[in-house]
Amino acid sequence: MTSAPPSGPATPRSRRVSQRLGAIAESATLKVDAKAKALKAEGRPVIGFGAGEPDFPTPDYIVAAAVEACGDPKNHRYTPAGGLPELKQAIVDKTRRDSGLEVTPAQVLVTNGGKQAIYAAFAAMLDPGDEVIVPAPYWTTYPEAIRLAGGVPVEVLADETQDYKVTPQQLEAACTERTKVLLFVSPSNPTGAVYTADEIRALGAWAHERGLWVLTDEIYEHLVYDDIETGSLPVLCPELADYTVVVNGVAKTYAMTGWRVGWMIGPTDLVKAATNLQSHATSNVANVSQRAAIAALAGDLTAVARMKTAFDRRRRTIVSMLNEIDGVVCPMPGGAFYAYPSVKGLLGKEYDGRRIDTSAELAEYILDKAEVAIVPGEAFGSPGYLRLSYALGDDDITEGITRLQKLFA
């Protein structure tokens, strides 16, 4: 129940929601997804390009490990706040195997998804007023997590003319004496951009020279196409290893978005602080989910290789179909499962007597008329673009983009 605020002077009681939380915007990606799912539930033939989650089920052996774990009463209890020791060890082993980065279990905090790792990392790193450089287009959660921790996101925009990748020169122009952290994500959500090893070395060298921390989000590490030569930032820039937080999780690699297991890796003092926060906030990640994550990490990468083949095929389909629409320019993304076309050529026009000036209005129009759900670039700090996840079935992709082609023919 919500009621109108009482009239008269503001009192602590009448300020209903704190300013800190009142300023948070709802996750635009989850909102679009929820709207699409609600319309679908009403029987409308909506095709959703909104959510960033694989359409595949979690591989059987992982589910079987979870089912078994459910039957064992020891898994009906709390785990240590920072995570099961076996899972931390599995994360250490996986990090060595996949990135070549050597870490210890004391450098690992198991979180409720990569999302909570980002929140915890910024909470542990930032004091009020500390600035974080956020390359844009950015994933919608980063600025909110930074602000919640008292920090100030400073956006640096890289558009399609530079393949959505920032340069050290741009970062230098945005750096002040309050800058504490550089946020880095490759492959990127929302653009799918993948930085090459040389580009990562250049950004890392710049951050090191400036005495900054780096938060590197590696959640899409296994979804890199075309054999692009890339790597993990603290491995390519070992001088930064003591000032780097790596965020990762099982969600995208093993089709486990709903299990809510991620982690942060960082220097032990920072991880200890973040673990203390977690001990008061959530206690620990669901025990059974942690057991499932152990099975995922202990297994091989066959399932993700299979998914990657499908994503790669869908990537080519969606990009070429989008580029057939006059007014749409879609670069080929090198990783993740998002296409990020510029739709500036479609704006400033009338459609069915309705004038459309922004990508947000365009996304609404597309949902109304074509029953296709897409997240507008406004959610990622770059109006004039749309983000389409291609983690959905091939037929749905073809049908959805065909509807757009017809709508804008």
Phi, psi of 137, deg, nearest 5: -60, 135
Q: How far is the CB of 182 from ligand PMP (least distance, A)?
A: 15
Q: How far is the CB of 28 from ligand PMP (least distance, A)?
A: 12
DSSP class per residue in 100-116: -----GGGEEEESHHHH
SS3 state of residue 86: helix
Give the distance between the most distant pair of CA atoms in the chain: 64
Task: Report the nearest approach of ligand PMP to the CB of residue 351 (Å).
Answer: 30
Cβ(135)–Cβ(109) below 8 Å:
no
Nearer to ligand PMP, 154 or 336 (CB): 336
CB of 30 to ligand PMP, least distance (A): 9
CB nearest ligand PMP: which residue?
113
Q: How far is the CB of 143 from ligand PMP (least distance, A)?
A: 13
Nearer to ligand PMP, 115 or 308 (CB): 115
- Using the minimum distance from each CB to ligand PMP, give the nearer residue, 315 or 370: 315
Residues in contact with ligand PMP by the rule CB under 6 A: 52, 113-115, 139, 185, 189, 217, 219, 249, 251, 257, 262
CB 219 within 8 A of CB 192: no
Nearer to ligand PMP, 255 or 397 (CB): 255
Work out how close the CB of 215 gets to ligand PMP at its nearest, in angstroms, rounded to a whole number: 10
What type of residue sits at position 111? T
Q: Are 240 and 107 a contacting pair, CB within 8 Å? A: no
Helix (H) or strand (E) run with residue 152 in it: strand 152-157
Q: Which of residues 94 and 115 has its CB atom nearest to ligand PMP in the complex?
A: 115
| Tokens read off for 369 | 């008329």
CB of 251 to ligand PMP, least distance (A): 4
Q: Where are the beta strands (DSSP E) in 17-136?
A: 47-48, 108-111, 131-136
Question: Smaller CB distance to ligand PMP: residue 262 or 381?
Answer: 262
Backbone angles phi, psi at 56, to 5 degrees: -80, 150
Which residue's CB is nearer to ligand PMP, number 54 or number 151? 54
d(CA 27, CA 33): 10
Strand residues in 162-287 grouped as ranges (E) = 179-185, 213-217, 244-249, 262-265
